[in-house]
Structure 1
Amino acid sequence: MQLNFINQFKMRTFFFFALLTVFLTACGSGAEAPAAEETMEQVAPAKSVINLVPMPASPDFPDAAIRSMDYKKGQFKFVVDGGKSGYALGAQTPDADQKMCANSAEGQHLHLIVDTEPYAAKYQPEFEYDIPDGTHFILAFLSRSYHESIKHPAAAKVAKVAIEGKTITEQAEVTSPMLFYSRPKGTYVGKDTENVMLDFYLANVKLGEDYMVKVAVADTSFLVNNWQPYFLKNLPMGENTVTLTLVDAKGNTVPSPLNPVSRTFTLAEDKVE
């Protein structure tokens, strides 16, 4: 019986050392456990949020006025009165250097808009301009050198006209609410892309509780209830399209002429030479 116990002890000891040898061999072999697969989540760069912010106040020119507008044989003739505030075509608006937006080197000017066409900037009160025969809406207003409209009623002329032979043959007062698109327009380069001015002109309508302007650009839209210029910020480079819609208190499109209106313009980086 004692011999049997000794034999069992020897067998257990043998198996213990055999297992220990296997364990030590495995640990000392230099083999490493397979590393966990490294993963990295790629995060897309944050998309800039387009903002619409009120533009700083500008010189007012409260008594600047367009006294008359005439169109005969393809020639426009305006009578512009700068008033005591000193508005003058071709002059730089006093705060142009501080405005931090696109500015015309040729100074203050008239904006002439026919229907939904882009405006024509005119720096003299008389000029040639081709309007096809038919019925049209014409808006002309005095502009600052950075293209912001002077929004006093006397500083603009708006009319529904009949054109024949490049001459106004009939002219009627516009009585329905109307929205005209002015800016943005054209191409903006370099620093001018940072603050892109949005400006529009209203006739026979006051923004507030009953009317608003919906501004849609890219995949963003805003409702504005104050008639003033704004800066569009963080617009993407390349082509952009702004659509302006005059809407009522419920957000419905107002059934007025030329409403809504859209314009496509371009933002470009500075050219590196």
Structure 2
Amino acid sequence: MNKSLFKVGMIASALFLSACGENTPKESNDEMTETTTEEAVKEETASTEGRMTQDGITIYPADIAQDFPNAKLTLNNPKDDAKLKVGENQFDFTVSDYELAVQTDDAMNRHCANSEKGQHIHFILNNAPYLAKYEPSFKAELGEGNNVVLSFLSRSYHESIKNSTAFVLKNFPIGKVENKFDEKAPHLFYSRPKGEYSGKDAEKILLDFYLLNTELSTEGNRVQVEINGTSFLIDQWQPYFVEGLKEGENTFRIKLISADGAPVEGPFNDSGDRIITIKK
């Protein structure tokens, strides 16, 4: 063979192999692009996980940005054996590792209704709408029969502190009591939303409740949330945000139900209708 032709053939072969080598990284880049796209889809799916939308209403879990694991609420007065009267009675609490009447640090990032007076106690009597208390001592009206009091620490934007020391549940019966209240039974207490919302506060509404002596799961007890007649099922105890509410009156109702959808027995496990007002 002519040596010149041999050299040309060798050069051509080298160029061909080089070209093939240059193509290899391009194939790898395509694989990386596909992987990156797949990860992006997974991230997007994760970010929307837990969102439920029906009839234009969306409900989704609210991330807890600031927790207070050591916050503690203690009731000093009335004592368990106190003889209380119908009418005004004194309540005295001690608050530890938590400060009342200051803004929660992440309040401005929450973008929902926030109390200008700061962190406080939610004082709930017989599952009626709560009273916000910014001092640990105050007077409250009690009536004939059971006076079931749930008090818990609240962030400035009305989100409850959900730990085993941040609440107090007591019954103060006065006079004749027909049905004894069982403090150890499963209980659901309604907290938020409440009242009137306007402007930016009306865009994202906090849904929050207090759960005692039970847990939620996909195969166990759940909370049924009804908003203007549309039903959602919740299987985690945490705060939620609600968007898409109509202007004017909106009706909320929460119920503690079993795995088969039956009501869980308890005096407050059905909140009844709670009406809030939206002004946009």
Identify the TM-score tier after normalising by the shorter chain: 0.7 to 0.9
CA displacement, residues 3-45 of structure 1 (integer Å, 9 cap, x when unaligned): xxxxxxxxxxxxxxxxxxxxxxxxxxxxxxxxxxxxxxxxxxx
Give the alignment partner of residue 80 of structure 1, picking from 91, 95, 106.
Answer: 95
Conserved in 2, the CA contact under 8 Å of 1:67 and 1:79?
yes
Conserved in 2, the CA contact under 8 Å of 1:161 and 1:172?
no
Instruction: For 2:149 and 2:69, locate their aligned partners in 1 and report how far apart those are by CA, in whole Å.
Output: 23
Matches within 5 A, 1:229-244: 229-244=239-254
Conserved in 1, the CA contact under 8 Å of 2:257 and 2:264?
yes
Instruction: For 1:178 and 1:58, locate their aligned partners in 2 and report how far apart those are by CA, in whole Å.
Output: 26
Conserved in 2, the CA contact under 8 Å of 1:54 and 1:231?
yes
Farther-moved stretch of structure 1 (132-141 vs 110-119): 132-141
Instruction: For 2:76 and 2:243, locate their aligned partners in 1 and report how far apart those are by CA, in whole Å.
Output: 36
Instruction: Please give the root-mean-square deviation of Cα atoms over the aligned residues, in Å.
Output: 1.7
CA displacement, residues 155-189 of structure 1 (integer Å, 9 cap, x when unaligned): 0001222136xxxxxx9760110000000000001
Paired position in structure 1 for 2:200: 191
Instruction: For 2:148 and 2:140, locate their aligned partners in 1 and report how far apart those are by CA, in whole Å.
Output: 15
What displacement does 1:132 show?
1.3
Give the alignment partner of residue 64 of structure 2, picking from 57, 63, 79.
Answer: 57
Conserved in 1, the CA contact under 8 Å of 2:171 and 2:181?
yes
Farther-moved stretch of structure 1 (56-65 vs 66-75): 66-75
TM-score (norm 1): 0.75
Farther-moved stretch of structure 1 (250-259 vs 223-232): 250-259
Helix, strand or coil for the counterpart of 1:97? helix
Give the alignment partner of residue 68 of structure 1, picking from 72, 75, 78.
Answer: 75
Matches within 5 A, 1:96-107: 96-107=107-118
In terms of Rg, which structure is larger?
A: 1
Instruction: For 2:240 and 2:76, locate their aligned partners in 1 and report how far apart those are by CA, in whole Å.
Output: 29
Give the alignment partner of residue 128 of structure 1, picking from 127, 139, 157.
Answer: 139
More helix by share: 2
Question: Counterpart amino acid of 1:152?
Answer: N
Instruction: For 1:126 and 1:163, locate their aligned partners in 2 and report how far apart those are by CA, in whole Å.
Output: 21
What displacement does 1:91 show?
1.0
Paired position in structure 2 for 1:265: 276
1:221 is the counterpart of 2:231: yes
Paired position in structure 1 for 2:9: none
TM-score (norm 2): 0.73
Number of equivalenced pairs: 213
Paired position in structure 2 for 1:20: none
Instruction: For 1:90 and 1:106, locate their aligned partners in 2 and report how far apart those are by CA, in whole Å.
Output: 5
Question: Counterpart amino acid of 1:241?
Answer: T
CA displacement, residues 76-107 of structure 1 (integer Å, 9 cap, x when unaligned): 1011112xxxx200110000000000000000
Question: Counterpart amino acid of 1:60?
Answer: D
Give the alignment partner of residue 123 of structure 2, picking from 88, 112, 116.
Answer: 112
Give the alignment partner of residue 158 of structure 1, picking from 169, 181, 190.
Answer: 169
1:254 is the counterpart of 2:264: yes
